[in-house]
Amino acid sequence: MFPCLGGRRTIRLTATSIFLATFGVLFLGIIVPASADDKNPFAGDAKAAKAGEYEFRINCALCHGLGARGGGRGPDLTRSVKRHTHSDSDMFQVISNGIPGTAMPANGTNGQGVGMTDEEIWQIITYIRSREVKSPAAPPGSVARGKDLFYGDGNCALCHMVEGKGGRFGPDLTGVGGSRTRQAMIDSVRNPSQRLAWGLTEATKEFPQEYESVTVVTADGKTIKGVTLNEDSFSVQIMDSGENIHLLDKDKLRSFQKSRESAMPKYDSDVLSDKDLDDIVAYLVSVGAK
């Protein structure tokens, strides 16, 4: 069976190639301070890590990918810096309770897997720790210059918001640097359509709405281009690049065309140099690490 990915908040996280809902938003509040009893009894135990690998495949790989390298739905867990799970006991709480407002479910409630015992959760944590790759001490790029580019010549902020400043047409990128690898962010800028980002997380749906672009022609002949905020068989809600929301009935449209091409332009290296991109990513990482 399959998780019914839940959550009620609208989460628009990235126009990059990967869904970022998990491990990003809103979960500082649910982390219970660790007590002395919350130490991982298996820390560094290779045998426990192996057992944890099997549990991981059953319970976590659906979203976080084989080898914890990140999947279509959940972030890469091999990053040594995780946004809100600094300690093993933090991680225990997140696995046990999930992250409200995101697709990360509480243990035993996702329909995938069957609920783990405390021992199994610690084994999974031990496994995740064993998979972590240390990131370079000083990642390339200038944070200050990246911020200037983001809000200036890079034109990123026309569509994307970071820490409450910027546009609404694309996903909010405040959390992206804390949950995705540098490479994933670079790939997403160079080839935004490679994997469309995920937008609305609707409690009723198995998967969140995707950032598909859409072109419709209304009954009176008006063409509207934008992204689908949500959609069912009978109605669609679209945001255009001017951030106007259009509420439309499908049976009243002259045409309705969806596309798997992202509304975000491709930033080739002649448009945005590798160095500029490094700076922008450095900026996003600095924000995401907060």
Q: Give the interface with another protein as residue ranges (CB under 8 A).
A: 1-2, 4, 53-55, 57-59, 61-63, 65-66, 71-72, 109, 111-115, 117, 120, 195, 202-207, 210, 231-234, 260
Which run of H or of E encompasses 94?
Answer: helix 88-97
Least distance (Å) between residue 260 CB and another protein:
8
Least distance (Å) between residue 289 CB and another protein:
27
Least distance (Å) between residue 47 CB and another protein:
13
State which residue, 148 or 187, has the beta carbon closest to another protein.
187
Gap between the Cα atoms of 119 and 75, Å rounded? 24
How long, in residues, is the chain?
Answer: 290
State which residue, 120 or 278, has the beta carbon closest to another protein.
120
State which residue, 87 or 112, has the beta carbon closest to another protein.
112
State which residue, 111 or 167, has the beta carbon closest to another protein.
111
Least distance (Å) between residue 11 CB and another protein:
17
Gap between the Cα atoms of 282 and 144, Å rounded? 9
Kindly report the number of other CB atoms within 10 A of residue 63's CB atom. Answer: 22
Distances (CA, A) of 209 to 126, 226, 232, 266: 33, 14, 10, 22
Q: Are 212 and 198 in contact (CB under 8 A)?
A: no
Gap between the Cα atoms of 207 and 230, Å rounded? 12
State which residue, 250 or 254, has the beta carbon closest to another protein.
250
State which residue, 63 or 287, has the beta carbon closest to another protein.
63
Least distance (Å) between residue 51 CB and another protein:
9
Tokens describing residue 138: 């000083």
**Which residue shows structure tokens 């509420």?**
247
Dihedrals phi, psi of 224, to nearest 5 degrees: -120, 125
State which residue, 174 or 228, has the beta carbon closest to another protein.
228
* Nearest Cα to Cα of residue 234 among 225, 247, 222: 247
Close Cβ partners of 274 (under 8 Å, ≥ 6 residues apart): none
Q: Are 4 and 206 in contact (CB under 8 A)?
A: yes
164-170-172-178 Cα dihedral, nearest 10 degrees: -140
Least distance (Å) between residue 195 CB and another protein:
7
Least distance (Å) between residue 121 CB and another protein:
13
